[in-house]
Amino acid sequence: MSSESSLFGHCWLPLLLVAPLMLLIVLFFYVPVFQAFYWSFFLEQPFGGGSEFVGLQNFARVLSDPEFWMAGWRTIVFMLTASTLAVAVPLMLAIAADRKIGLSYAARNILVWPKGIAGAAIGVVFAFIFNPFVGLMAPLNALFPGLWNPGMDGTDAFVTLVAAHVWSGIPFNFVILLAGLRSIPPTMYQAAAMDGASPWRRIADVQLPLIMPQLFLTFVLEFTESITSVFALIDTMTGGGPGGSTTLLVYKIYIDGFRGFDLSGASTQTAILMVFVLLLAACQFVFLGRRINYER
Amino acid sequence: MTAIDTAIRATAADIELIGVTKAYDAKTTVIPPINVALRPGEFTVVLGPSGCGKSTLLQMIAGLERVSGGKIVIGGREVQDLEPKHRGCAMVFQNYALYPHMTVAENMAYSLKVAGVSKADRAQRVGVVAKMVGLADFLPRKPGQLSGGQRQRVAIGRAIIREPGVLLFDEPLSNLDAQLRHDMRVELADLHRRIGATSVFVTHDQVEAMTLADRILILNKGLIEQFDTPKAIYHHPASVFVAKFIGAPPMNILAVTGDGSALRLADGQVVANYADKGSFQLGIRPEDIAVNAGGSIKAEIRYREDLGSHEILETNIADQNLRITMPFGAEIDTEQTLSLSFPRARLHLFDSETGRAIHNAFDDAKTAPTFVKEYQ
Amino acid sequence: MVENARSINIVASILLAIGILYIVGPLYLTLSTASQSYEYILTNGLAWVPGTELFTNMAKVIHDTRIPVQMLNSMIVAFSNALATCALSFLSAYAIVYFRIRWAGVVFALILATIMLPLDIRVITTYQVASNIFSPLNAVLDVTGLNALTANMFGAPVHLELSVLNTHFGLVAPLVAHGTGTFLFRQFFLTLPKDLFKAARMDGAGPIRFLIDILLPLARPSVASLFVLTFLSGWTQYLWPLVGASTPDMQTAVVGLARLVPDSDGQVPDFPMIMAGAVLVSLVPLTMIALLQRFLVQGLVLSEK
């Protein structure tokens, strides 16, 4: 900052440089975000059929709808289970891959592959693998009929969703956590070893505390990620069923808006979901964020 | 060599700073109004501790920092509002700041390329400069493949290729090891002699300042403490700050009181005759103290450091630390208490409040000073 | 270190083996199923061993479905997304870091905020904007009263209409409206030594020259990382291409693949053909990962810092 005055002092050039991106961001981010809140106070007719100010009626309607609360509850359950697993599994793998063992090189390569597989594609694949009649569980189902059927049993469907989500989330979280582990200076391990800490002990006493920033970050991003990217999985694996048991909020918004043409209801739910996501991130930063910054 | 000597030869420009100030906001003034004039072809070293504003001063001359007030005149032109490229200055940076993706030749030629010099001319100039800085065999290399000293040469070559009237150096030697630093110092002095550009060299290293400078400008908290030749600064420091900053080990500064006839330490020992009353700071360099049996000043030895060529004694005198340098072979009795005398011609007397010099040597006959010089 | 780490290394190896199996297993089953016939699946269920029908099934996908043209769409979307994101974020990060502008902090915050609310959440209203990208302008004209004025003077208010739905631009633009790239480049610029910028200024380089001669060559690895990252992200998008393009010829391959699965629950779908489709659709991004893994990993790490 001491040399601020040495920066380029152009007046119109920087404007020109940020203009293209800012235009896109205003048009496709800020306008839609604003419109979601705006429409939640209006009754919108589909196909541009006019709109009418209705105050908080949309909110009253949405909040009194048990379907909304069910979808919201499922969203929170999914968020907690799926994102915990989607951080814990890569964390274990990263700690393992950080050791100098034969498999760690192969693992570092293979574990980023899912980044190239679309959520919808892996949804199609998992739907097949967990198909009760021809999939992985088919032989068991033949022995114990009705043991596994995601098409009938809501819990089974939920489990397949979580399994597919964790699969998709491995690359990013694995790479981030491994990078965090690798940035720990080797002298730290040497010091701990001199203090008598075994390799097991060092996981809890050295590695985990020192990758807290990365762990925190993966959690923050994973919370948002788990409740949005799950759409592709739901749409390809369960279609929200059976009996609505996998209809999460992001899917319900899509169905209400694009199938039911209830723009006001969908916008109102969008607005609520946005506030929820923002509050969640804010809470994480306030309660977790400031405890984990160490001077190295 | 003469052909090369004439090939790169700058028309040295004089530099004048008139009331130049730098303030980041109302509260933080880095440099209060400063007035200084550098002669054409002169090698000026700006010396001071970190945070004294020396780098800011250099960057304002270069045009990398805006002045908050005042004028900068280079070669008779007012330049404080001009872009760096229009000021006729070139700069050598502390971390070299070489473009890592360009070869040595491209690095050196870049300013010429920007200025629209033809390819053939660029190649010719690069060849000349590369020979001058001893890099003729390294032109196709990238900076990453060079040693620290070689990178430093590229940085210097890049600066001189435009034949600038003013060469600016921002602590260019601080990243080199001791041996290389010495070699580069010699080379820099030689280059300066051959190119003749007015040079401003910023450093916190007093050895660089003493060996390279025509004149040294000592800055402290943005203020000029002293601006003079290395010799004058060493022998006639204008303030306690300068006295302690120059010389290794630094000058001893003792608190003394004048009783009208003599200067006394806190324990009553007389260190010199002096007619004025009041409290003063007395300075004497460690190598100027005479250790002899007849000396009337007593000091306790606390610690001895033998450095081979000479020995440094850490002693205690009236609860103050006194450092004494003894040449190799000088015998001292192993007793705890030393007898010393302070040669009057080597004493410096400073005002105890302002720290400014009152006398820079004592005459033996009178108590009047033989040499008092007001600086600034 | 002299240390007995056998127990932890054994456990780590087992964990990694399980992890690799978890990732590779579904991919292997996809490939092996894709190489079997429909009849084989009906009688045997999952194909644990590869068969010989892979190319037959792929040919079926290529001839009987729109996947080929949809892959072309995916290619266009992924490539333009990567290119536009790299170019626009590079320029905006450049303006934010290297110019003395008072609004730099505000602009950066505005750009960064986009990371908090992904496109999937705001899809309803993004769709509305895409159906007429002039709607915000119309609304502004309405609210400011300018339209009432023009209606008085010319008899009709200004009402512009342009839909970008079912266009490649419409599929790409909302993906580009994202802050990760700007964030990544800003971080990269801040790691460059300040003296490099000063040296370039002393050498006489202005804003454009500095951008082209110094910054761009130095940023090449960062650009490559972001390119790989945004290409993959563009290729694997689902919800936006699903609503942004309604005709099969404009849809992307991932959407087309999902559409291969019949909605009806009646009979067992042609899984080998669907899996062959999944293999085809994943071929391009997986090849990219195999070739440019270094940049992908670097990009993931950079986008976090």
Task: Tell me which of B204, B235, B266 is where a domain ends.
Answer: B235
Q: Is C163 near chain A, with CB under 8 Å?
A: no
State the DSSP H helix or E strand holding residue A76, giving kind and residue range, or none if neither.
Answer: helix A66-97
- Close Cβ partners of B119 (under 8 Å, ≥ 6 residues apart): none
Please indicate, yes or no, whether residues B264 and B202 belong to a single structural domain of this protein: no
Min Cα–Cα distance to chain A from C249, Å: 19
Q: Nearest to residue B348, comparing CAs of B290, B296, B299, B288? A: B288
Range of the domain at A208: 61-291
Mapping DSSP to helix (H, G, I), strand (E, B) and coil, where does residue B247 land? coil
Residue A229 counted as domain residue = yes
- A128, C41 Cβ separation under 8 angstroms: no
Please indicate, yes or no, whether residues B203 and B259 belong to a single structural domain of this protein: no
Q: Is C268 near chain B, with CB under 8 Å?
A: no
Residue B141 counted as domain residue = yes
CATH (domain of B90): 3.40.50.300
The pLDDT score that the predictor gives to residue C303 is 67
CATH (domain of A161): 1.10.3720.10
State how far the Cα of C278 lies from the Cα of C35, in Å rounded to an integer. Answer: 12
State how far the Cα of B45 lies from the Cα of B155, in Å rounded to an integer. Answer: 19
Please indicate, yes or no, whether residues B225 and B303 belong to a single structural domain of this protein: no
Please indicate, yes or no, whether residues B144 and B257 belong to a single structural domain of this protein: no
- B143, B96 Cβ separation under 8 angstroms: yes
Q: What is the mean pLDDT of residues A208-219?
A: 85
The pLDDT score that the predictor gives to residue C215 is 92
Nearest to C100 among A4, A171, A270 (CB): A4
- B217, B187 Cβ separation under 8 angstroms: no
Residue entry with tokens 């435009």: B162
Q: What angle do CA A159, A160, A163 make, to 5 degrees?
A: 85
Please indicate, yes or no, whether residues B84 and B219 belong to a single structural domain of this protein: yes
Structurally, how many domains does chain A consist of? Answer: 1
Nearest to B111 among C195, C203, C214 (CB): C203
Residues of A with CB under 8 A from a CB of B: 2-3, 5-6
Write out pLDDT tens, residues A23-67.
Answer: 999 999 999 999 888 888 888 776 666 677 888 888 888 888 888
Residue B240 counted as domain residue = no
Amino acid at C281: V
pLDDT band at A1 (very low <50, low <70, confident <90, very high): very low
| Structural tokens at position B125 | 């100039």
Please indicate, yes or no, whether residues B157 and B11 belong to a single structural domain of this protein: yes
Structurally, how many domains does chain B consist of? Answer: 2
Write out pLDDT tens, residues B36-69.
Answer: 999 999 999 999 998 888 989 999 999 888 889 9
Task: Tell me which of B235, B268, B296 is where a domain ends.
Answer: B235
Burial state string for B301-339 with b = 16 or more CB within 10 A and e = fewer than 16? beeeeeeeeebbbbbebbebebbbbbeeeeeeeeeeebb
- A223, A216 Cβ separation under 8 angstroms: no
Tally C-beta pairs within 8 A across A and C.
316
Please indicate, yes or no, whether residues B268 and B123 belong to a single structural domain of this protein: no
The pLDDT score that the predictor gives to residue A80 is 92
The pLDDT score that the predictor gives to residue B366 is 40
Residue A236 counted as domain residue = yes
State how far the Cα of B176 lies from the Cα of B118, in Å rounded to an integer. Answer: 35
Residue entry with tokens 């900052």: A1
* Environment class of C295 (CB within 10 Å of its CB; exposed 0-12, middle 13-18, buried 19+): buried
Residue B244 counted as domain residue = no
- C182, C91 Cβ separation under 8 angstroms: no
Which of C299 and B228 is assigned the larger pLDDT? Answer: B228
Amino acid at B134: G
Please indicate, yes or no, whether residues B229 and B319 belong to a single structural domain of this protein: no
B contacts of A3 (beta carbons < 8 Å): 59, 64-65
Task: Tell me which of B172, B206, B235 is where a domain ends.
Answer: B235
* CA separation, residue C144 to residues B57, B271, C132, C161 (Å): 52, 88, 20, 19
Nearest to A124 among C130, C268, C278 (CB): C278
Q: Which of A1, A4, A6 to mutate to test the interface with B (most CBs of B within 10 A)?
A: A6
The overall average pLDDT reported for chain B is 86
Please indicate, yes or no, whether residues B198 and B318 belong to a single structural domain of this protein: no
Q: Nearest to residue B46, comparing CAs of B184, B191, B233, B187? A: B233
Q: Which residue(s) pair with B284 in the sheet? A: B252
Chain C window 147-206: which residues touch B at a Cβ cutoff of 8 Å?
A: 193, 195-196, 198-205
pTM of the model: 0.83
Q: Nearest to residue A267, comparing CAs of A76, A61, A58? A: A58
Q: Hey, are the CB atoms on A2 and B66 less than 8 Å from each other?
A: no
The pLDDT score that the predictor gives to residue A193 is 78
Please indicate, yes or no, whether residues B78 and B120 belong to a single structural domain of this protein: yes
**Least reliable range by pLDDT among A38-52, A272-286, B122-136:** A38-52
Residue A261 counted as domain residue = yes
Quick one: DSSP state of residue C99? B
Please indicate, yes or no, whether residues B196 and B284 belong to a single structural domain of this protein: no
Range of the domain at B335: 249-359
Q: Is C260 near chain A, with CB under 8 Å?
A: yes
The pLDDT score that the predictor gives to residue A291 is 58
Mapping DSSP to helix (H, G, I), strand (E, B) and coil, where does residue B95 land? coil
Which of B280 and A283 is assigned the larger pLDDT? Answer: B280
The overall average pLDDT reported for chain A is 84
State how far the Cα of C22 lies from the Cα of A112, in Å rounded to an integer. Answer: 12
- Close Cβ partners of A163 (under 8 Å, ≥ 6 residues apart): A126, A130
Q: What angle do CA C84, C86, C92 make, to 5 degrees?
A: 95
Please indicate, yes or no, whether residues B284 and B161 belong to a single structural domain of this protein: no
Domain borders along chain C are 1-64, 65-302
Chain A window 66-125: which residues touch C at a Cβ cutoff of 8 Å?
A: 89, 92-93, 95-97, 99, 101-104, 106-107, 109-125
ipTM of the complex: 0.87
The pLDDT score that the predictor gives to residue B123 is 93
Residue A194 counted as domain residue = yes
CATH of C65-302, picked from 3.30.530.20, 3.40.50.410, 3.10.450.710, 1.10.3720.10, is 1.10.3720.10
Write out pLDDT tens, residues B1-13.
Answer: 334 444 566 688 8
Which of A188 and B371 is assigned the larger pLDDT? Answer: A188
- A248, A71 Cβ separation under 8 angstroms: yes
Q: Hey, are the CB atoms on C128 and A21 less than 8 Å from each other?
A: no
Which residues of chain C are under the pLDDT cut of 50?
A: 305
- Strands (DSSP E) contained in A45-122 are 51-53
* Helix C123-131 vs helix A263-287: crossing angle, to nearest 10: 130
The pLDDT score that the predictor gives to residue B335 is 66
The pLDDT score that the predictor gives to residue B61 is 92
